[in-house]
């Protein structure tokens, strides 16, 4: 997905696992920006009006048309390989949930991913001879993955981990930063 392809008028395309997280965010933004009701249909499913409501048949027809349009937008955002795997779903919510499960897994797999990310963060440390830029890139890769989950780690904890992971040559700088920003109880 080139940056030029991403706009509120174009639907981002999911090609595979390598662009899933980006697609998930940009797809929601594009659909929600253009028609929040379509996004609601994808995310929450079709609204079923009360039978007692006046013109419930008219309302249900509008809801079905909205979901049909949301389903078409979703199909346009998927590569052929992915679409053929989920095309049997009849509502936009079912299809979207199937795509999410395909790339994020079920609840158990998501928990395993969170545990793996937590372990990566816990074991994160400076590698001998590594440049600061490389350390920061590796650290931000882990942080960005954590932020795609519901794993809650405070910015304070992340900053603390990064500063304590730096090499000895950064000791004075990290100590100054800790004191300057008043890291409470930091040792």
pLDDT digit string (tens) for 19-33?
898 899 899 999 999
Distance between start and end Cα atoms, the chain? 44
pTM of the model: 0.62
Question: pLDDT tens across 135-164, in order?
Answer: 999 999 999 889 888 889 998 889 888 888
Tally the C-alpha atoms within 13 A of residue 91's C-alpha that lie toward its C-beta.
16
Q: Answer yes or no: are the C-beta atoms of 11 and 78 closer than 8 Å.
A: no
**Distance, CA of 95 to CA of 73 (rounded, Å):** 11
Q: Answer yes or no: are the C-beta atoms of 76 and 62 closer than 8 Å.
A: no
* Domain residue ranges of the chain, discontinuous segments joined by +: 3-104, 107-180
Of 133, 158, 137, 136, nearest to 147 by C-alpha is: 158
């Amino acid at each position: 997905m080139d940056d030029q392809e991403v706009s509120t008028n174009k639907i981002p395309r999911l090609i595979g696992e390598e662009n899933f997280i980006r697609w998930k965010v940009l797809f929601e933004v594009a659909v929600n920006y253009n028609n929040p009701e379509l996004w609601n249909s994808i995310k929450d499913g079709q609204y079923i009006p009360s039978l007692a409501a006046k013109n419930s048949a008219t309302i249900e027809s509008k809801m079905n048309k909205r979901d049909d349009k949301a389903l078409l937008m979703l199909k346009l955002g998927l590569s052929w390989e992915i679409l053929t795997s989920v095309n049997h779903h009849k509502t936009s919510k079912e299809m979207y949930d199937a795509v999410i499960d395909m790339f994020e897994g079920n609840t158990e797999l998501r928990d395993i991913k969170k545990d793996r990310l937590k372990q990566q963060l816990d074991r994160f440390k400076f590698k001998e001879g590594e440049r600061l830029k490389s350390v920061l890139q590796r650290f931000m890769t882990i942080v960005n993955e954590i932020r795609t989950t519901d794993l809650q780690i405070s910015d304070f904890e992340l900053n603390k981990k990064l500063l304590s992971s730096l090499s000895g040559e950064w000791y004075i700088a990290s100590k100054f930063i800790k004191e300057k920003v008043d890291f409470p109880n930091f040792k």
